[in-house]
Amino acid sequence: MQTIGAEYLGDGQCSFTVWAPEKQKMTLQLVHPEERIVEMKQDKWGCFQVTVQDVFPGTRYFFIPDEEEKGYPDPASHYQPEGVHGPSEVMDHSTFEWHDQNWRNIAFQDMVLYEAHVGTLTPESTFEAIIPLLDDLAATGINAIELMPVAQFPGNRNWGYDGVDLYAVQNSYGGPDGLKKLVDACHARGIAVFLDVVYNHVGPEGNYFSKFGPYFTDKYKTPWGEAINYDGDWSDGVRDYFTGNALHWFRHYHLDGLRLDAIHTIYDDSAVSFWELLHRRVKQLQQEMGKPLYLVAESDLNSPRVIRSPELGGMGFDAQWLDDFHHTLYVLLHPPGKKFYEDFGQPEQLAKAYTDGFVLTGEYVNFRKRTYGASSAGVPGDRFVAFLQNHDQIGNRVKGERMSQLVSFEKLKLGAAAILLAPYVPMLFMGEEYGEDAPFLYFVSHSDTDLIEAVREGRKKEFSRYKWEGEPADPQSEETFNSCKLQWQKRKKGHHKVLEQWHRQLIWLRKEHPVLKNFEKKDVQVHVLEQRGFVLQRQTADGLRHLHCLFNLSDTELSYTFSKKAADWKKILDSKEEKWLGKEEAETKPLPTYVKAEEQVKLAPLSIAVYEGKL
């Protein structure tokens, strides 16, 4: 696999390489600090290359394909200091002073992920502004941050899925050095860093890929336009570009994992699939770097093939997001959500989500008008990421409401417990741990007026199709963006502080209790209580220690009789203890500290309690 882009070789030498197999000519246009024109030579793989003297880091350049009248940014640019339409800049990654030489990553099953958007996490909207927040996150127990995409996008505000320079780090966030400083600071605090990458489409504005090569195909379609050419003519260069991108983030930015967006919209019928190629190259790099490198999928397939090894016909991902868990838990906590998740909301489905993983496993699904999914029963829980909120589930509501704006404080506690006591790797969305109530809306900052209007109309049509009521906020408005910024100071006050402490306690329990370290599904059982609650039963692999997690999701009292699995049961957590009550939450007598086998207890409305039993 050939290195593409600008590679600084030291001593004022820089190698420039660009893949353009169908072009007859390629010219390197140096524009800063001095202007020069340099002809490039093409090799048999379709790459144009030239090594130039007296070129130092900070030099800016374009490529001019064939007889074009102007130059275009490097498709593999590492930095776009003037945005998506400006020149690319030569980087020397060797000059950054890393302090994480002893960092060896965290076992995936031990992670508590925290999805964050760089632009709205702080008022400054930069990587470096996040660093002062890391100690608070570490104190809560969060040990892995998952950044939404940071590849260069148009303007200075965007979710990140409109990236067009996929090797470059967003200039308004602080560019390459800003990201490196954040990763280095995270590792110093024992926090891993994941990055969301988009390999299924490229954004519209500043998308100059077709000026260079056949990156796209009309053989397939995606919801966002042209599909990436992973299996057609000249697709070797495309596959190298995207697998090389994954390696780029691991090598130059010391990232610990990647989350791949919507893999179900990537199409490839090659004998050796893109996924097999990516898996092999990442695992080779993993050996070189001496630490695990994780690949996590967002998939709409409900197929265990996603997390099966390529040797067994799978895609080779280490884990995938578990949307079914979100959908059924969300509807149980917020019944109006049934309107949007019509196939979910039964307590038995949540039980299946805990014990099996996928809820829809071959049944007829109304939303899809067909049978859908396959069983994931038996797949270890640490191959799934479970969540109650993420950027899509919040941002694709017409008003961008978080759960804190939709349900009561008691239900926020229930939701946190349902996720953090599950046999899955949990993920929180930024601010969820303290009940942030700022919305998370969709926002962009395009410069093309026609595109801006198309985005506005597209959002309106999308919400209309999915039966949302009301008008969406203007995605182009800076006010829309600013309204989404977190109010970090709230985590220290009132019910926000209580909720953060509740999360902290649950995460501590998750990390310390041996039962919660067992991810084998055979050791997980769920019993539904009168369609109004459930008991999540987990145990150690040797069967000597048990946890019964008692959930009452209803507004009325609920009875539960303890099993004979232990002679005595000791309470280790109770949401109705005084220290966990919100300002509007009525005081209720907590459950007894000790309970005998076959003894009955009364579960308070909207409560969660955890009891431990030992054999």
Catalytic residues: 261, 298
At 515, which amino acid appears? V
At 259, which amino acid appears? R
Task: Say which residue the tokens 């055979």 belong to.
Answer: 522
Backbone angles phi, psi at 163, to 5 degrees: -60, 145
At 381, which amino acid appears? G
Helix (H) or strand (E) holding 506: helix 494-512
> Are 359 and 346 in contact, with CB atoms under 8 Å apart?
no
Distance CA(539)–CA(547), nearest Å, equals 6
Distance CA(545)–CA(565), nearest Å, equals 9
Neighbour-count burial for 82-93, b at 16+ CB within 10 Å, e otherwise? ebbebbbbbbbb
Structure tokens at 541: 């692999």
- Dihedral angle, C-alpha 415, 421, 427, 433, nearest 10 °: 50
> Are 50 and 199 in contact, with CB atoms under 8 Å apart?
no
Residues 6+ apart with CB under 8 A from 565: 539, 546, 597, 613, 615
Name the nearest CA neighbour of 40 among 61, 9, 10, 69.
61
Distance CA(467)–CA(277), nearest Å, equals 41
Cis peptide before 33 (omega within 30 of 0): yes
* Number of CB atoms found within 10 A of residue 72's CB: 20
DSSP for 183-199, please give it.
HHHHHHTT-EEEEEE--
Length of the chain: 615
Backbone angles phi, psi at 367, to 5 degrees: -60, -35
Name the nearest CA neighbour of 298 among 315, 278, 313, 277.
315
> Are 360 and 322 in contact, with CB atoms under 8 Å apart?
no
Distance CA(16)–CA(31), nearest Å, equals 14
Backbone angles phi, psi at 420, to 5 degrees: -80, -15
